[in-house]
Structure formats: structure tokens, C-alpha cells
Structure 1
Amino acid sequence: MSEQNCYVGLTHDFLNIQAAIDKVRSPMAGAIVLFAGTTRDNFAGKPVKELQYTAYNKLALRSMLAICKDILTKHGLKGISMIHRLGTVPIGEESILIAVSSPHRKAAWLAGEEALEACKSRVEVWKREEFEGEEGVWRANRDGAMGQKTDS
């Protein structure tokens, strides 16, 4: 889904970093910042087997687009892309890509982080952490165990 230099998507496919960057590339941009949230092999001292994501797709896409439009305007961006993977995301693979382009680097850095935090707190995506040797745990996409923030 795209609108006004904002590109959002949900997919069960492997995320393509170059495609995310290409969505926001502009001759008016002097900076492109990319965040790639990757499944790590541990959380809170437990070995993670994989992550599984599910979403309320229609509402999640609307929320993602609203976030992107707000951030595009606030930071004077030339483009913003937010793509979240659903289903099983193995260790070492990306679950989310956020790319932003702006005339200057500072705005791009700030916008990328703001987009990630807004996505984690507002988008209707949920995560199940699958651990080695024990039952998995459903979590809000934004919060980890014991109040720790998750990276993806």
C-alpha cells in the first residue's frame, strides 16, 4: 500500500532490504536510513528458536500508513517505507524494515527511530517467541519480558 511517498506492507515473504531502500530513494534526499529488526537467538537468558508474528492486517496497514504520513510531514522526509513480516521469522532474518529518506541525515535518523517506536506501540501486530525446550510466549510487539525492550 502506498500514498504520498509512504509505503507500507505486511508479507509472509523474506524481506528485501534493497527494495525497501529503493522505495524511498530520491534525488532530493542526501540521506537514507534503514532499520532492520532481526530475530536474535536469545531473550532474557533463554535460547530463542524463532519468532512468529500475526496481525489484524487491514487495521495494521491503516495504522502503519497513518504513522508514516505523520512522520513524513513532521520530519520533512522525501520517503518512508515500513514493511513487517508475518508468520515464522527464523534466527538471523528480518521481521521489520523501516527506511526513510530526507535532505539531511539528522532528520532521517530521528524519523527512523520514531517510526520504529510508533510501529511497536501502535500497530496491530503480535509476536510469539518460541524458545528451545519450552512453550512459546505471546507478547505485545513492543514489550519484552521483565520490562526489557525487544529489538524487533
Structure 2
Amino acid sequence: MTSDTPVTEKMARNGVTEASTSATSTAKTSRSSVLDPANFPQTLESPTIYISLVYDPLDIPAYLKFTRSAKAGANILFLGTTRDNFDHRPVSRLSYSAYPSLALKSLYAIAEDVQKKHGLEKVAIVHRMGEVKVEEESIAVAVSSGHRAAGWKGAEEILERVKARAEIWKKEWFADTGEMEEGVWRANRDRDAQGNILEKSNA
């Protein structure tokens, strides 16, 4: 999977290619320009790891195609979708923001670490930016492994670490306050794996 992002700089380091757009290569660029959808997708990848931030709907078949391996008997896919409620309040939509350059590096580091820990063949992590409507996917985590136990554990650990660490935040709009409401910023990690709320205050 190759990004269409206009590239001004490429660095090869330990088999990893990092593409930096003109919007992210200058400290003087405004945050709104950094998050301009025209500058996406932004990607970090190696032969066994694919990381991307996108504004478009997730291309799920492409991620599964990337992680497929002749050595893998298990292919695990997790899709995080926008639910219609939070803490008993109706949610109309979410919007995601990030520090792209930092988020990409954090996601890659997570993928690399968990890949080694669980012996995964390949890993793909893709997160959407901007508005994500109810029932639409905001994140895809795909992994392949020799056997299913490693795949299940690896995918779960990746997701938990992404939500806890990656420089990505979400803003919720509640249907009971109307569309004129500014929305509520939250940390990406608002619930644990069992659905228990971890963070109620604004992020």
C-alpha cells in the first residue's frame, strides 16, 4: 500500500520509510494546515508493518491483503466503530485530531514492539482523522500470526496501547444538546476492554 501524499522528504532507517509532507516539515506551519485532508494519507511502513493516518473511509480489504502471509495460519482484524452513545447520552458523531508525525511514530513503535513480543508475522494499524459518523470505522488493527493465540493477544495489546499512548484525540457531539454544541474533547481511551468508563473529564 503506497500513499499518494506529496513527499518532500524521504528517510530510510532500519528498513522503515517515512514520508513527510510540506505541511509537517516546517515548524511554522499552522496546526490547521498540518491536519489539512489534502496532506493525507500519511504513512510509515516496512515489509511487515503498515501504519497510516487517513481522512477517507478505511480500506479494510487492503489491510488484510497486507497482513496476509504464507507463514500465518491466523489473520485477526479489529475494527473500532463510532457507537451512538457515551455514558448514557446519545452520540451523533465523532471527530479525531492528532499530531500526525508523533502519532505515526508512536503507532509504529507499538506495532514493532508487540510484533516482537508475540511473534506476529505482519501488523497494520490505520486510524481515521476528521469526522467519523455513527457505525463508521475509526480504527483498523490487522495482524497475522502462525497460530490464533498470538494473533488474538497481539491485536488486543496493540489496540489497548494505541488508545493509551498515541497522540490522537476525539471530540464527541451529543444529540441531546443539538448540532450547535461545540462538542466535548476526550482522550482516545475512554473505556477499558470491558466497556467501563475510564475518563469522564474533558481531555
**Do both share a fold (TM > 0.5)?**
yes
| Aligned position for 2:197 | 148
Query: Deviation above 4 Å: which 4+ runs of structure 1?
Result: none
How far off its partner does 1:133 sit? 3.4
- Highest CA radius of gyration, 1 or 2? 2
Distance of 1:149 and 1:25 partners within structure 2: 34
Aligned twin of 2:58 = 15
Q: What is the Cα deviation at residue 51 of structure 1?
A: 0.5
Measure the CA separation in 2 of the matches of 1:53 and 1:24: 25
TM-score by length of 1: 0.93
Q: What does residue 114 of structure 1 align with? A: 157
Higher helix share: 1
- Tell me the C-alpha RMSD between the 2 structures: 1.3
| Structure 2 residue 167 is matched with structure 1 residue 124 | yes
Distance 1:83 1:23 in 2: 12
Aligned pairs, number = 148
Per-residue Cα deviation, 1:6-25 (whole angstroms, up to 9, x for no partner) = 11000000001111111110
Please report how far the alpha carbon of residue 149 of structure 1 lies from its aligned counterpart in structure 2 after TM superposition.
Answer: 5.0
Is 1:137 the counterpart of 2:184 in the alignment? yes
Greater relative CO, 1 or 2 (CA 8 Å, sep 6+): 1
Match of 2:84 among 14, 37, 41: 41
What does residue 60 of structure 1 align with? 103
Deviation at 1:26, TM superposition (A): 0.3
CA separation in 1, counterparts of 2:79 and 2:106?
Answer: 19
Q: Residue 5 of structure 1: CA displacement?
A: 0.5
Instruction: Answer yes or no: is 1:81 the counterpart of 2:81.
Output: no
Q: Which runs of 5+ in 1 are unaligned?
A: none
Q: For the residues of structure 1 that align with 2:139 and 2:118, how far apart are their CA atoms?
A: 21
Distance (Å, rounded) in 2 between the aligned partners of 1:20 and 1:4:
13
Correspondence 1:26 to 2:66: no
Q: Which amino acid aligns with 1:42?
A: N
Q: 1:116 to 1:124 in 2, by over 3 A?
A: same
TM-score by length of 2: 0.70
The amino acid of 2:185's aligned partner reads W
Greater mean alpha carbon deviation, residues 60-69 or residues 125-134: 125-134
Q: Which amino acid aligns with 1:72?
A: Q
Measured in 2, the distance between the counterparts of 1:96 and 1:13 equals: 12
Asked if 1 retains the 8 angstrom alpha-carbon contact of 2:89 and 2:176, the reply is no
Q: Extract unaligned runs of 5+ from structure 2.
A: 1-43
